[in-house]
């Protein structure tokens, strides 16, 4: 008898996007252009081949759910092999962008890690295109979608993005809905297995 407790899902960050290397120091405009390019990028042939070899040892899921961004969709097709792919934009990454340069800090050149840290602080302060509260609300909505898909596909996979899947899994653990690692792997393309407990 198929029970909810027996239902499992793999969660993984998409594969590494095919992007040129950026300069070490970037200004606000260059970093925002990098973010735009990141969202448009798919996978290189080399990354696709790496993932195909990695996923050979994983079972073919009943279905793969993924965000609608190219890097996630391409990864889902490789992991799913013959499985149906369900594209759902609710599983997109948390949108980020550096604001207009209203301070000396925002007008300066910084390494990418400084810009990432700035964006993370803004997210916690509920600033930016999507702050922490809106991200949590969207993750709560995404859980409803995930449970609906899981009803039809007992052994499925989810391909999303590092920030969003970390938030999603954190909420599921807080709600005592799943068993598995407290956080999924955020290595490019690396699956982590979870099981529903209620």
Give a three-class secondary structure readout of the chain: CCCHHHCEEEEEECCCECCCCCCCEECHHHHHHHHHHHHHCCECHHHHHHHHHHHCCCCCCCCEEECCCHHHHHHHHHHHCCCCEEECHHHCCCCCCCCCCCCCHHHCCEEHHHHHHHHHHHHHCCCCCCCHHHHHHHHHHHHHHHHHHHHHCCEEEEEECHHHHHHHHHHHHHCCCEECCCCCCCCCCCCEEEEECC
Cα dist from 51 to 78, 145, 178, whole Å: 7, 26, 26
Q: pTM of this prediction?
A: 0.93
pLDDT digits (tens, 9 = 90+) for 157-182: 999 999 999 999 999 999 999 999 99
26, β-bridge pairs: 110
Tally of CB atoms within 10 A around 50: 17
Range of the domain at 176: 4-196
CATH number of the domain residue 72 falls in: 3.40.50.1240
CB 190 within 8 A of CB 11: no
- Tokens coding 128: 């930016």
Each of the 198 residues of the chain gets a pLDDT tens digit; together they read 344 457 999 999 999 999 998 899 999 999 999 999 999 999 999 999 999 999 999 999 999 999 999 999 999 999 999 999 999 999 999 999 999 988 999 999 999 999 999 999 999 999 989 999 999 999 999 999 999 999 999 999 999 999 999 999 999 999 999 999 999 999 999 999 999 997
Domain count, the chain: 1
């Amino acid at each position: 008898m198929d029970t909810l407790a027996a239902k499992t899902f793999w969660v993984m960050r998409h594969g590494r996007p095919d992007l040129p290397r950026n300069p070490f120091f970037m200004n606000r405009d260059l970093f925002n252009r990098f973010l735009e390019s990141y969202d448009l990028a798919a996978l290189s042939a080399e990354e696709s081949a790496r993932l195909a070899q990695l996923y050979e040892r994983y079972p073919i899921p009943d279905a793969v759910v993924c965000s609608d961004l190219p890097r996630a969709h391409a990864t889902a097709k490789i992991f799913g092999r013959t499985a149906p792919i369900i594209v759902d934009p609710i599983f997109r990454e948390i949108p980020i962008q550096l604001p207009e340069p209203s301070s000396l800090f925002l007008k300066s050149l910084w390494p990418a890690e400084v810009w990432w840290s700035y964006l993370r602080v803004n997210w916690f302060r509920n600033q930016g295109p999507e702050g922490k509260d809106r991200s949590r609300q969207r993750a709560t909505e995404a859980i409803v979608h995930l449970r609906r898909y899981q009803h039809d596909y007992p052994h499925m996979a989810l391909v999303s993005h590092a920030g969003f899947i970390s938030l999603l899994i954190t909420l599921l653990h807080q709600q005592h809905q799943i068993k598995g690692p407290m956080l999924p792997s955020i290595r490019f393309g690396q699956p982590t297995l979870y099981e529903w407990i209620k």
